[in-house]
Structure 1
Amino acid sequence: MRTTFTSRLRAVARPTAALTAAAVASMTLAACGGGSSAASTDNLRFGLSAEPVTLTTGVWQGSATNFVMTLIHRGLMTLDESGELVPGLAESFETPDPTTYVFTLRDDLTFSDGSPLTGENVKSSLEYYANPDAGSTLIAGLSDISDITVDSDTQVTITLAEPNNAFLEYLAVPTAAIVPEASLNAETPNTVGAGPFVLEDQQEGVGMTLDKFDDFYGAEDVELEGIDVSYYADGDARANALVSGDVDMIDYVTWENFDRVGSTDGVELAAQPGPFQYVQFNTTEGPFADPQVREAVAYAINRENALTAAFQSNGEELAGVVMPDDAALEGVGDDLWSYDPDRAQELLAEAGYPDGFEATLLATSQYTFLQDTALSVQQDLQAIGIDVTLDAPDWSGRLEKGAAGDYDLAVSGDVGIVTNPSYLLGFVEGPDNFNRSFGYSSPEITEALTAGLRATDDESRVAAYEEAFDLFATDVPFASIDTRDQAWAYSDDVEGFTNLSGFHTFFSGYTLVNTSIER
């Protein structure tokens, strides 16, 4: 059966008034790192919750970096303002059979440095991301690629070794961007892209300026002339900047600011459920190399307390794994671990630690919710005899320590890289990264999850995932804690932005292509 999917671009209303300038107070800049170095009166003023780390495509590096990726890059696929999967750099694609995808690129594509974007760039980019040696976090979705043939400058045929019903969604992940071949290494920042905006200026610790890319394939529908990004690591300062009018929009409204921001005249709070919190482990040596100890941690966590402490109950307790909205899979993977400290102590004793042990718990000083979650977990673990010392560097330090395995256990908050259950493969196979248990692998869980990915009927899918989660419950690749509501907020003058639902909330920067502003 041949399926054809042709792109659709949506026009948005052109603003009738220019932006007015607003200066950021010098005291706020000094305290919070706010203020772009080259602010323009015509640009959207955005308060970003963290300074992005080095922009490296193929690698998951947190929400702030993902946000910038959605602005300066594009892949073959993207998400529209409703979160629907649509072609990006591809104009259309065909699937003549379940393992063959023929992509036709848009005409006259160029990168922001003026160089042409052709089928050869598609081939080199995707082959790089599909290579385990490159450290890509896209492996779970792209490892099925067996061949990429460049039919012409504007046509590429990708052949998979097996059917993969999540393949197209992986191509829309911001880090799956098509970039120049010279950028495909760990040392070169991927600042040259083919997205709607160009990174023009960047000042460390302060902000960045992005200008509209006039040669973007949908440039005629992009209303914003540019975006002035200011870094506000402090959640209160970020909220203050919005309600005072110093910025037009912010990401990541902290939960203690939900009521204040949401009740401010002229400000819109857009919250969506989706991200989840969990404990990850260093499984290379020491107590957490033992699955019984990891299982003990999973039973020791008081999820109700953690949800209240970190999110003021703006979320849900999570005793299993987050699954997509799929009627066939309803209830599968929901209840893997209850709150049972007695069972936790039994497991510790069975593992040879009846008197407990000492451990270091990695968090971060930059995000209050992770600090509060860590404090709650610390209390729970001390109650079963694990004497926990907190390590809370800034976010860049958290990334470095997580990626290097410089911890015993750590608290993390994340989303699935895609909405398909195959997102869990990123937690049980592939290269180490900052937000998965260091050194962990499970061929058995990988095999069961992969069977679910390959299944062509609901009965087979359900059976595969039930097997996977039976293994999950006792091997514990990570110990779930809770889900949280994730909010963006913006002035009423901002129109067309959407906080995408579920796991896609961190890809909501894609909808700035549909955004306009009037004041």
Structure 2
Amino acid sequence: MFTKLKYAATTAAIAASALALAACGGGGTTQGAAPAQELQFGLSADVPKLQPHLDQGAAAMMLDSVLHRGLLGYNAKGEITTALAEKYEQTDPTTYKFTLHKGLKFHDGSPLTSAEVKTSFEDLANPKSAAKIVSVTQGIQSIETPDAETVIIKLKSPNAAFLSYIADTTAAVLPSAAFTAGGESWVGAGPFKLVSHDKGVSFVVEKFDGYYNAGSVKLNKIDFPIYTDGQARTNALLAGDVDLIDFVPWEEFDRVKSDSNITLDAQSGPFMYLNFNVTKGPFADAKVREAVALAVNRENVVSAALSGNGTPIQGVPVPETSPFYNKSLANGWEQNAAKAKSLLAEAGYPDGFTAKMLSTSQYAFHKDTALSVQSDLAAVGIKLDLDLPDWATRVSKGNAGDYDIAVSGSAGVVNDPSFLSKFVTGPAEHTRSFGYNNATINDLLAQGVAETDEAKRKAIYDKLSETILTDAPFVSLAGRAQAYAYQKSVTGFSNIPGFLTFNSGYTLTETSIVSP
């Protein structure tokens, strides 16, 4: 039987607690106005052109989370919370009613009403927009806006993960101009507004007083100096030049943990994998892709690229903690060089071939993963020439299909097996194999997300995993520990668990700096 669910925001207690901490640094009872709260956040990459609906990587999602907001969001535990929607309810298995906060506006002062929500969701559902969550938004049947504060979204069929998807930072409600050809959006409705961007150097944002929950935001300003080099980023934190950094390099974990003034906040969830251009050449053949999956030594990837801070993944990356995990399918890509050579011979490449591998020099773990895989594939006859541009170029080349095989690192959009849709279906996008489409896989994904009986859903996802193991739309390599690190004076920031780590910027609304 269907049960109606209702949710509402509850932030007052958290706000009161954090304000008390900010006013009582050092155990004293300081009276009067608290000093301005300014955070120095060492960011791992520049984002020359912010397009929040796309998957542009971790640095972009951090900026999305401070500049933008969607109907929903996540709290520090990874639980769905309200955001632009003051409340919502599921009125039947396919219908969701959202009630917006009154008086919402964008940073430029323009109003944000149900009309802007509708426009954003229509664009998020348009395949041409290449939105990160398009596989879910295309399931929207209709959007009604009976008044300025009410949005009713009706789906074509039930989707057990719909609310989780629209809580992602990339589901932000944007001004309509953001979705035009070549559009970008630095103007949002989030807790902070952009005041400067010195390309390649820094971003500076300041608290937006028009934010619907501005009273709970502790920080007045965040300066994001850009440190593309991992060691330099770590050094800046340890020297006290910054308060917080993202992407702590795995080889720096021990050094960071040894400093009593620093907190290393690591979560498992993201994973490394390979994707392919399947529109031409050897990788258009599933046997060749499966051969790659069987040729790789994943222990070497964990050791060489992640300094041991990871776990080999020899099958579809469904975590062991998931109710949909199947141990019998978890090692379907266990290393087997002999079988890999046999598959290559069956595909017409008994002597191997030469191909171009795309990775990036900007993140050492991406480059080191490429070097590890290059060695393994050479052993079965596949010779790879490495292409290692900066991150922004790597993304653009991936989107354009300018590669044969590529190293990727990402996470599911949600902590649910439906996350696999991001990696196997949708318009061209750098995190999935270029040109890949499999009707059977697409149908199984649709069946799985619409099924409410858990046992039947598990059977569907088992069949999906079996299909992926033989068709190899991507090749899992290793799960990785993803870490932020920050001074002990930083309180309230949290690395959200699992695949949601890249949404951790949401917790900056609860972050403050306390006296030592």
TM-score, normalized by length of structure 1?
0.94
CA distance in 2, matches of 1:348, 1:446: 27
CA distance in 1, matches of 2:328, 2:221: 45
Partner of 2:290: 295
Q: How does 1:364-383 map to 2 (within 5 A)?
A: 364-383=360-379
CA distance in 2, matches of 1:188, 1:454: 33
Q: How does 1:72-91 map to 2 (within 5 A)?
A: 72-91=67-86
Partner of 1:6: 8
Residue 442 (structure 2) pairs with residue 453 (structure 1): no
CA distance in 1, matches of 2:259, 2:149: 49
Cα deviation per residue 1:460-486 (whole Å; 9 max; x = unaligned)?
111111111111011101011101101
Q: How does 1:142-153 map to 2 (within 5 A)?
A: 142-153=137-148
- Residue in structure 2 matching 1:279, options 249, 274, 281: 274
Q: How does 1:109-128 map to 2 (within 5 A)?
A: 109-128=104-123
Residue 268 (structure 2) pairs with residue 266 (structure 1): no
SS in 2 for 1:453: helix
> Is there any run of 5+ residues in structure 2 with no aligned partner, and where?
26-34
Q: How does 1:429-448 map to 2 (within 5 A)?
A: 429-448=425-444
Q: How does 1:305-344 map to 2 (within 5 A)?
A: 305-323=300-318, 325-331=321-327, 333-344=329-340
Q: What is the CA-CA distance between 1:57 and the residue it aligns to?
A: 2.4
Q: What is the CA-CA distance between 1:135 and the residue it aligns to?
A: 1.8
SS in 2 for 1:13: helix
Partner of 1:404: 400
CA distance in 2, matches of 1:328, 1:482: 19
Q: What is the CA-CA distance between 1:136 and the residue it aligns to?
A: 1.6
CA distance in 1, matches of 2:135, 2:315: 21
Q: Is the 8 A contact 1:323 1:333 kept in 2?
A: no
Q: What is the CA-CA distance between 1:489 and the residue it aligns to?
A: 0.3
Q: Is the 8 A contact 2:18 2:510 kept in 1?
A: no
Q: What is the CA-CA distance between 1:329 and the residue it aligns to?
A: 3.8
Deviates more, 1:71-80 or 1:186-195: 186-195
CA distance in 2, matches of 1:77, 1:234: 33
CA distance in 1, matches of 2:342, 2:249: 37
Cα deviation per residue 1:434-454 (whole Å; 9 max; x = unaligned)?
111110111101111221111
- Residue in structure 1 matching 2:386, options 373, 386, 390: 390
- Residue in structure 1 matching 2:169, options 155, 168, 174: 174
SS in 2 for 1:413: strand
Residue 16 (structure 2) pairs with residue 16 (structure 1): no
The code of the aligned residue for 1:258 comes to F
Q: What is the CA-CA distance between 1:41 and the residue it aligns to?
A: 7.5
CA distance in 2, matches of 1:461, 1:333: 16
Q: Is the 8 A contact 1:53 1:65 kept in 2?
A: no
Q: Is the 8 A contact 1:140 1:422 kept in 2?
A: no
CA distance in 1, matches of 2:428, 2:179: 19
CA distance in 1, matches of 2:491, 2:344: 54
CA distance in 2, matches of 1:307, 1:54: 32
CA distance in 2, matches of 1:2, 1:83: 22
CA, structure 1 residues 323+234, in 2 after alignment: closer, same or farther (shift >3 Å)? same
CA distance in 1, matches of 2:205, 2:329: 42
Identity among equivalent pairs (%): 47
Deviates more, 1:293-302 or 1:88-97: 88-97
The code of the aligned residue for 1:234 comes to D
Partner of 1:498: 494
Q: Is the 8 A contact 1:239 1:257 kept in 2?
A: yes
CA, structure 1 residues 164+81, in 2 after alignment: closer, same or farther (shift >3 Å)? same
CA distance in 2, matches of 1:480, 1:96: 39
Deviates more, 1:372-381 or 1:1-10: 1-10
Residue 467 (structure 2) pairs with residue 471 (structure 1): yes
CA distance in 2, matches of 1:425, 1:413: 16
The code of the aligned residue for 1:336 comes to G
SS in 2 for 1:297: helix
> Is there any run of 5+ residues in structure 1 with no aligned partner, and where?
19-39
SS in 2 for 1:422: helix
Residue 207 (structure 2) pairs with residue 212 (structure 1): yes
Partner of 1:418: 414
CA distance in 2, matches of 1:133, 1:323: 29
Q: How does 1:28-47 map to 2 (within 5 A)?
A: 42-47=37-42
CA distance in 2, matches of 1:171, 1:380: 39
SS in 2 for 1:444: helix
SS in 2 for 1:456: coil
Partner of 2:132: 137
SS in 2 for 1:460: helix
SS in 1 for 2:23: coil
The code of the aligned residue for 2:496 comes to L
Q: What is the CA-CA distance between 1:328 and the residue it aligns to?
A: 4.8
Q: How does 1:177-196 map to 2 (within 5 A)?
A: 177-196=172-191
Cα deviation per residue 1:47-66 (whole Å; 9 max; x = unaligned)?
00111241112211100000
Partner of 2:31: none
The code of the aligned residue for 1:440 comes to Y
Cα deviation per residue 1:390-413 (whole Å; 9 max; x = unaligned)?
110010110111111111101111
SS in 1 for 2:210: coil
CA distance in 2, matches of 1:464, 1:482: 24
CA, structure 1 residues 168+333, in 2 after alignment: closer, same or farther (shift >3 Å)? farther
Q: Is the 8 A contact 2:142 2:153 kept in 1?
A: yes
Partner of 2:243: 248
CA distance in 2, matches of 1:489, 1:447: 41
Cα deviation per residue 1:174-209 (whole Å; 9 max; x = unaligned)?
111001122222422211111110011100110010
CA distance in 2, matches of 1:403, 1:227: 31
Q: Aligned-residue CA RMSD in angstroms?
A: 1.4
The code of the aligned residue for 1:509 comes to G
SS in 2 for 1:211: strand
CA distance in 2, matches of 1:493, 1:501: 22
TM-score, normalized by length of structure 2?
0.94
Q: What is the CA-CA distance between 1:265 and the residue it aligns to?
A: 2.4
Partner of 1:34: none
The code of the aligned residue for 1:57 comes to P
Q: Is the 8 A contact 2:324 2:461 kept in 1?
A: no
SS in 2 for 1:57: coil
Cα deviation per residue 1:276-315 (whole Å; 9 max; x = unaligned)?
0011111001000000000000000000111100112111
SS in 1 for 2:415: coil
Cα deviation per residue 1:302-348 (whole Å; 9 max; x = unaligned)?
00111100112111000112225333545375222110010000000
CA distance in 1, matches of 2:284, 2:296: 19
Residue 205 (structure 2) pairs with residue 200 (structure 1): no
